Structure 1
Amino acid sequence: MQINIFFGPKEEFQKLIPKNKEIKRLHDLIYEIDKKQRTHIHITNGEKEEFIEKEYVECLVSYTEDYSSASSNFLENAISILLSAYNIENIYFQNPPQTIKELLERQNDFQVEIIKHQYPNVSLQKVKSIKNTFHKHIIGQEKAKNHILSTVFPLTKKKYEKPVVMMFFGPAGVGKTETAKFLSNKFYNQVEFRKQFSMFQTEDFANYLFGEKINGASLARDLLNRSSNVILLDEFDKAPAVFHSAFYQMFDEGVLVDKHYVADISKAIIICTSNYKSREEIKKSLGEALYSRFDHFIEFELISKEAQQKLIEKSYLKMIQLFSKKEKEVIERYGVFKSIIDRAGQFNNVREIERETQKLMCSVLIKDIYKKKRVKTFLRIV
């Protein structure tokens, strides 16, 4: 039997699975074990003889999410249960809990191969590309761009193994999250790994961070399954202070260990976003121990009037594409673009610009419809 243990994203794991073999999923076998009785009793010379009839399985595959379908007791005894019930030729397990990994590795009679997905390197060429195109995607944050590129630059060196850890801080809606998305796309051509910390209550956050249940959700398990090496911890300021110590090893060594999983995040780009107003406020909130583990604190500033003009133009051109040819004519006739551009400098963030542009476009369209209705009513009366 060949045992293959893969750590990495699903799309890469699927490339390892043979195309010409009959596949059985772990949860299918769990269901069969629960539903079928495979023990038969025979009488030989007046004595009972018990034997197990094993079913042949050409290829057993388990994805990250499959472990959630099993009970904790089953997972802790999974290998012995499976091997007692089935004759398995090949095993492919993606991101198994440490318990299962260790059980598989102890199968001395079988060949075990550990495969770890290697994320693309941060190349100097990509850094240059980001430097030249950043202003087209993230408007009004040139200072932030320079700080970001100088922080990620060490990752272009082969011997550098640590993750780089940055705190993006400043007002809401000025490009912090969009910058993380942009970096992930440029460096890895993938959607960033993102967790919104404001979505967790204290108890939920503890269970997720420390992986309380072997078959439950956990940050380490989700990180093993990530497609991108840009890790966005959004609204990091909402993480309860009591859990700050859980990030020490993650930020220092690029490893996150919980009760059941071990996630390797070496050479990752970790971005924590927050609405803090200053580095002093960050230090006071996070404490010296966690504060000192960040490589850089990068401020995203309020958007200048000139930058707002560019954002208004970009937003207008994007939104007008939603409307029909006649609707576009109405929007242009009412001078929506001029009305919005004249207000440049009055907005606080990108969201306000997009919201006001859309609202004004829809407002003039409704006004035009009502005007036409009044004309038609007047003609009918006449």
Structure 2
Amino acid sequence: MDVLKENGEGHRDFDSRKVLICRAEEFALLNDGYVDALPALIKVWILADKFSNVVFHNPPNNIEKLTKQLFKKEQIKVSQFKYTSFKYKHLEMIKEKYNDVIIGQPDVLKRLLVYLYPLTKPKYKKPVVLLLYGPAGVGKTETAKFVKSIISRNNGLFRTQLSMHQTSDFASYLFGDNIHKSSLALDLLKRESNVVLLDEFDKCPPLLYSAFYQMFDEGIFVDKNYRVNLEKAIIICTTNFQTEREIFVHLGEAIYSRFDGFIQYTDLDEGAKTRIVEREYIGIYQTLLDNQEKRILDENQTLFALKQEVSEMTNVRNIKNYVKSRISSKIVSHKMNL
């Protein structure tokens, strides 16, 4: 009997000829009565030599509990997926690259390094929980993506937008309902990296913030069906509030006090906008355009013209769309004589 926890990696040292594998998504296909009866049925099947081993991938709490009651301790092996740990070298890489990737937020870097530093200590087990706040489109979400890319390039960032859950089902999503419904706990169990982004955190109804208390304090998230280990995770929350005072008033002291740090992002100045224009323009110019299209842009001095218009641009998202649209406009107008 093998119980695999999180992301499907685990014990492989068994006779693969007669193995029953129960994956996380398959439990949701069973009715509640059958789920509760499954461990007993499996014991009967093993005694009848139907299977030599059974592997549970992210089983619900009740299945894990019943399995441990029905089988001897030596018959069960629980394997936890090991996420890439945050090391001092990652801190150095963030210091080296951050201001080239996230343009226009020079005051963010030091605070980010300070708050992440405890994770470099092997004995530090709690998650680091940060709230990034400030205007939309200036680098908060991109910071989470950047940090994840430093730790692990090949695994995806776990991201959930709390503004997408403004329904009567949100409480069920956070606290768990029946096993057939989606839940934050099950989504977290499937995460590929230990960087968790809770976007637009302030859009969560205040009465539901208690769902995050244990996660932020201890790195454990428990709902009706699942238990998730978030040891040494980096949990990044974002909001568009402009001051810490606004955050305190809106979120309340109970959840506010559970953040390890608050990092403010500010509006982009014209120097930052100009650098972003250059980066976006060069990226499109070098990777997407043929020689004829490049000549059209060069003859029209498109990059120079864009730099003169940065005062009309607002944030990174706006700049990307502005540059893309202007490039397309110049090329289409020339090719189609518009």
Q: TM-score range by the shorter chain?
A: over 0.9
Measured in 2, the distance between the counterparts of 1:140 and 1:287 equals: 30
Measured in 1, the distance between the counterparts of 2:164 and 2:284 equals: 29
Partner in structure 1 of residue 54 of structure 2: 91
Bigger radius of gyration: 1
3-state secondary structure, aligned to 1:272: strand
For the Cα contact (< 8 Å) 2:163–2:203, is it kept in 1? yes
Measured in 2, the distance between the counterparts of 1:96 and 1:345 equals: 54
Partner in structure 1 of residue 277 of structure 2: 312
For the Cα contact (< 8 Å) 1:17–1:92, is it kept in 2? no
Partner in structure 2 of residue 125 of structure 1: 89
Measured in 1, the distance between the counterparts of 2:200 and 2:270 equals: 27
For the Cα contact (< 8 Å) 1:166–1:298, is it kept in 2? yes
Deviation at residue 204 of structure 1 after TM alignment? 2.1
What stretches of structure 2 of length at least 5 have no aligned partner?
none
Partner in structure 2 of residue 376 of structure 1: none
Letter in 1 for 2:184: L
Matched, 1:151 2:149: no
Partner in structure 2 of residue 248 of structure 1: 213
Deviation at residue 316 of structure 1 after TM alignment? 0.3
Letter in 2 for 1:164: V
> Greater relative contact order: 1 or 2 (C-alpha under 8 angstroms, separation 6 or more)?
2
**Scaled by the length of structure 1, what TM-score is found?**
0.83
Partner in structure 1 of residue 301 of structure 2: 335
Matched, 1:116 2:58: no
Counterpart mapping for 1:255-294 below 5 A: 255-294=220-259
CA distance change for structure 1 residues 160 and 85 in 2, over 3 Å: closer, same or farther?
A: closer
Measured in 2, the distance between the counterparts of 1:215 and 1:101 equals: 17
Counterpart mapping for 1:31-50 below 5 A: none
Measured in 2, the distance between the counterparts of 1:285 and 1:310 equals: 35
Partner in structure 2 of residue 102 of structure 1: 65
3-state secondary structure, aligned to 1:160: coil
For the Cα contact (< 8 Å) 2:15–2:52, is it kept in 1? no
Partner in structure 2 of residue 236 of structure 1: 201
For the Cα contact (< 8 Å) 2:296–2:331, is it kept in 1? yes
Partner in structure 1 of residue 4 of structure 2: 6
Deviation at residue 18 of structure 1 after TM alignment? 6.4
What's the C-alpha RMSD, in Å, of the aligned pairs? 1.8
What stretches of structure 1 of length at least 5 have no aligned partner?
23-57, 374-382
Partner in structure 2 of residue 28 of structure 1: none
3-state secondary structure, aligned to 2:180: coil
Q: Which structure shows the higher strand fraction?
A: 1
Q: Which of 299, 321, 326 is residue 355 of structure 1 equivalent to? A: 321
Once the two structures are overlaid, the 10-residue window that deviates more, 284-293 or 339-348, is: 339-348
1:174-217 CA-partner distances (Å, limit 9, x unpaired): 01111101101112332211111111123221111011112321
Letter in 1 for 2:193: S
For the Cα contact (< 8 Å) 2:163–2:204, is it kept in 1? yes
Once the two structures are overlaid, the 10-residue window that deviates more, 199-208 or 253-262, is: 199-208
For the Cα contact (< 8 Å) 1:163–1:265, is it kept in 2? yes
3-state secondary structure, aligned to 1:106: helix
For the Cα contact (< 8 Å) 2:166–2:204, is it kept in 1? no
Partner in structure 1 of residue 28 of structure 2: 68
Measured in 2, the distance between the counterparts of 1:206 and 1:296 equals: 26
For the Cα contact (< 8 Å) 1:202–1:240, is it kept in 2? no
Measured in 1, the distance between the counterparts of 2:233 and 2:239 equals: 19
Letter in 1 for 2:33: N
3-state secondary structure, aligned to 1:6: strand
Deviation at residue 75 of structure 1 after TM alignment? 0.9
1:230-251 CA-partner distances (Å, limit 9, x unpaired): 1100111111111011111111
For the Cα contact (< 8 Å) 2:40–2:70, is it kept in 1? no
Letter in 1 for 2:258: R
3-state secondary structure, aligned to 2:310: coil
Letter in 2 for 1:336: T
1:47-68 CA-partner distances (Å, limit 9, x unpaired): xxxxxxxxxxx01112221112
Letter in 2 for 1:243: L
Measured in 1, the distance between the counterparts of 2:304 and 2:13 equals: 60
Partner in structure 2 of residue 214 of structure 1: 179
Measured in 1, the distance between the counterparts of 2:199 and 2:71 equals: 44
For the Cα contact (< 8 Å) 2:163–2:200, is it kept in 1? yes
Q: Which of 171, 176, 179 is residue 135 of structure 2 equivalent to? A: 171
Deviation at residue 21 of structure 1 after TM alignment? 2.7
1:148-174 CA-partner distances (Å, limit 9, x unpaired): 110010111112111111001111110
For the Cα contact (< 8 Å) 2:14–2:53, is it kept in 1? no
